[in-house]
Amino acid sequence: MPTAWSPSSSNRVVHANNLDVLPHLPDGAFTLIYLDPPFNTGRKQNRQSTTSVRAPAQAASVALGASAAGTITGFKGQRYERIKGDLLGYDDQFEDYWAFLEPRLIEAWRLLADDGTLYLHLDYREAHYAKVLLDALFGRDCFLNELIWAYDYGAKSKNRWPTKHDTILVYVKNPARYYFDSTTVDREPYMAPGLVTPEKVAKGKLPTDVWWHTIVSPTGKEKTGYPTQKPVGILRRMIQASSREGDWVLDFFAGSGTTGAVAAALGRRFVLVDQNPESIQVMRSRFALLPEVEFLPELEQARSPLPDFASDGAEARLGA
């Protein structure tokens, strides 16, 4: 980075492609990493698909990870031949969503402290694939939770169950040492208060792994104008539970900067990265009254753009 970052640095917002910034950050520096990457639902692109068919045993001589026409070994040792399919039109702006996301997840793992936690925010299209990827990357024993953020807003489909939730996968760096303190989390009302004592009603209950929480109101005080802004209440729960005052929080799909705003309000420190100029403009306004927030221009070496759909906040589900 143009000015070397260390845990003694100020809060920082970097205008750059995140993959150009992350290698400049030191190992194990962040207690919490929240990622809200682009959902795989962007603009029109021709993309090559692959189809798997069962292959004869004698054809299974190509090692795993070979060319698309080779053979691979699937579950229970069954061999499959990967065959290039027709060119299909997909609504995203890069050829392979996971080729985009995987190197960033590898960096996230490196940057997590030994007691650190990753929160990866996805929609239903990719959450299950991400679970498999992260099990391989972090280890199945590092999986902590699948959080469901449920909301009830917007149009509803009439020909299937309306999709009104996002998935947040939670992984820890070290299952023996991760930090988690549920006593610091804001409590919520009981759904059936008549079934518990008045004392419990007054105290409220800890949230479970299903979070009913409204989206950011289009007319509310929290609204910044950024199209994909996430609610403060969602980020508060994560940061309260998985970090302490003074800890560093990282969000390299920063969007409207909700992660930084909540981190600062809770006494944490933050590094935010985003390439979208609209995002940086929103964060400059949002953090105008915060002391010691350093804004860095786009890196000279960071001119390689993210895929268009990922940097177009008006049409992509991207960033907090």
Bigger pLDDT: 180 vs 8: 180
**pLDDT digit string (tens) for 67-76?**
434 454 444 3
Confidence of residue 43 (pLDDT cuts 50, 70, 90): very low
Question: Residue 178: its pLDDT value, please?
Answer: 98
What whole-number distance in Å separates Cα of residue 115 and Cα of residue 94? 34
Confidence of residue 41 (pLDDT cuts 50, 70, 90): low
Question: Residue 318: its pLDDT value, please?
Answer: 53
| The 293-296 sheet, strands edge to edge | 210-212, 143-150, 165-172, 112-122, 30-35, 248-251, 269-274, 11-15, 293-296
Please give the mean pLDDT across all residues of the chain.
Answer: 78
Domain edges within the chain: 11-44+94-311, 45-90
The enclosing H or E element of 270 equals strand 269-274
Question: How is residue 286 written in tokens?
Answer: 């949002």
Tell me phi and psi for residue 281, to 5 degrees: -65, -45
Stretch among 34-38, 41-45, 197-201, 220-224 having the lowest mean pLDDT: 41-45
Question: Residue 308: its pLDDT value, please?
Answer: 42
C-alpha torsion 316→313→116→138, nearest 10: 30
**pLDDT digit string (tens) for 240-275?**
999 999 999 999 999 999 999 999 999 999 999 999
Confidence of residue 65 (pLDDT cuts 50, 70, 90): very low
Burial class of residue 237 in the structure, from the number of CB atoms within 10 Å of its CB (0-12 exposed, 13-18 middle, 19+ buried): buried
Contact 260, 32 (CB under 8 A): no
What topology does CATH give the domain 11-44+94-311? Rossmann fold (3.40.50)
In percent, how much of the chain has pLDDT > 90?
A: 43
Stretch among 82-91, 165-174, 308-317 having the lowest mean pLDDT: 82-91
Contact 243, 235 (CB under 8 A): no
Q: Token match 């061999």: residue? A: 79
Contact 176, 115 (CB under 8 A): no
Residues 302-311: what's their mean pLDDT?
A: 44
| The 45-54 sheet, strands edge to edge | 45-54, 79-90, 71-73
**pLDDT digit string (tens) for 96-116?**
777 888 899 999 999 999 999
Highest mean pLDDT among 9-18, 288-297, 299-308: 9-18
Question: Residue 225: its pLDDT value, please?
Answer: 76
C-alpha torsion 19→25→30→34, nearest 10: -10
Question: Residue 1: its pLDDT value, please?
Answer: 47
**pLDDT digit string (tens) for 155-198?**
677 888 888 888 999 999 999 999 999 999 988 888 888 898 98
Question: Residue 232: its pLDDT value, please?
Answer: 92
Give every CB contact of residue 72 below 8 A, 6+ residues apart in sequence: 52, 64, 65, 66, 79, 80, 81, 82
The answer to whether the Cα torsion of 130, 127, 262, 209 is positive or negative is negative
Question: Residue 83: its pLDDT value, please?
Answer: 30
Is residue 147's pLDDT more than 90? yes
| Residue 299 one-letter amino acid | L
